[in-house]
Amino acid sequence: MKSPYSRYFVFTASEWGKLYNGPSPGPSLTGEEIQELQGINESLSADQVKEAYLPLSNLLNLIVQQAQTMRHAKNAFLHRETEKMPFIIGIAGSVAVGKSTTARLLQRLISCWPSRPRVELVTTDGFLYPNEVLTQRGLMNKKGFPESYDTRRLIQFLAAVKSGAAEVECPVYSHLEYDILKDRKQVVVRPDIVIVEGLNVLQTNTVTSAPNVFVSDFFDFSIYVDADTEWIESWYIERFKILRKTAFQNEHSYFHKYSHLSEQEALEMARQVWREINYVNLMENILPTRSRADLILKKTEQHRIESVLLKK
Ligand SMILES: Nc1ncnc2c1ncn2[C@@H]1O[C@H](COP(=O)(O)OP(=O)(O)O)[C@@H](O)[C@H]1O
Ligand SMILES: CC(C)(COP(=O)(O)O)[C@@H](O)C(=O)NCCC(=O)O
């Protein structure tokens, strides 16, 4: 039974889909754009984009406009000019639930708004400690846990971005090398919108120099990508199978050393990593942050959106 005190409005996928009131057909649904979107992820269906993600982009557009109006009003009251300050969206959820795909899709849809905003995408993987440090601290089997991130550095980065700094650098993580790339940096340049995606973005049990400052303090809107753990595990295994046939064949891949394993042995290894690391992290550190999100996207089989919860 639905609690009358729920902090969220709850919509089925079809109810949510009907809320779209932007241009029709949506900006992303014309020939070239569909192809481009499938470049993000070929199994992403155009129907899903239309039913689930376009209304979300539509809602975000309204919220961003309102945030700007509010800033103008505040600055007018203070007799100050309104300086450019990016709107920051956080995307949280388990390993393999589809955070990166959601983030890249939203980046594309938001860039199509009439104002053509400049949207930068940052993943918090870049703020993991390098393997060298994780090894020294005995944390190689805790990658993705709160203590494996340099949260202090992430907060400094967000503070610089939010203050409107023209160019801010952040470190880059490679899933192929399974490590921070020492010689690479991402430069976030004069963004209108920044999407920050990662397991840890809604966490409050992080290690920082300012104990009362959290990553999410810098967010104007936050999304939690959710699904039953059985589905997430299957997506993790599925992704592992694809990587085994592609990226892991590359001799620079951290997992290349496992490419000789039989399909069965590789699957057993993937299940074990899921069970002993990612599942534990989900239960202990990620799922407990779900109720902090402004919006929850609940997915089911084949990544189909089943319901959407929007904070009242
Ligand atoms: N909306 C979607 N439709 C189809 N496949 C998806 C969708 N979202 C994610 N996937 C697939 O699920 C797996 C995990 O997604 P990914 O975005 O890499 O997750 P995360 O960033 O949360 O680890 C990938 O194999 C990806 O291709
Ligand atoms: C680097 C990560 C913590 C980040 O997760 P993601 O961006 O894939 O959601 C994760 O991919 C990871 O490496 N987890 C440790 C166990 C594993 O190898 O899956």
List the CATH number of the domain containing 289.
Answer: 3.40.50.300
CA dihedral 92, 95, 97, 101 (to 10 degrees): 80
pLDDT at residue number 228? 98
Point out the annotated binding site for ATP. Answer: 93-100
Q: Whose CA is nearest to atom 3 of ligand 2?
A: 144
- Residue-wise pLDDT for 42-62, tens only, equals 778 888 888 999 999 999 999
User: Quick check: is 153 in a domain?
Assistant: yes
Domain count across the chain: 1
Cβ atoms within 10 Å of 20's Cβ, excluding its own: 19
* Distance of CA 139 from the midpoint of ligand 2 (Å): 13
User: Quick check: is 30 in a domain?
Assistant: no
Residues with CB under 6 A from ligand 1: 41, 43-44, 93, 95-101, 235, 238-239, 303
**Can you tell me the mean pLDDT for 104-116?**
93
| pLDDT at residue 40 is higher than 90 | no
Residues with CB under 6 A from ligand 2: 95, 99, 125, 143-144, 199, 273, 277-278
End-to-end CA distance of the chain: 18
- Residue-wise pLDDT for 281-304, tens only, equals 999 999 999 999 999 999 999 999
CB 252 within 8 A of CB 176: yes
User: Quick check: is 289 in a domain?
Assistant: yes
pLDDT at residue number 208? 63
User: Quick check: is 42 in a domain?
Assistant: no
User: Quick check: is 16 in a domain?
Assistant: no
The boundaries of the domain holding residue 142 are 85-99+113-311
What is the sign of the dihedral through the CA atoms of 288, 311, 62 and 73? negative
User: Quick check: is 286 in a domain?
Assistant: yes
User: Quick check: is 230 in a domain?
Assistant: yes
pTM of the model: 0.94
User: Quick check: is 294 in a domain?
Assistant: yes
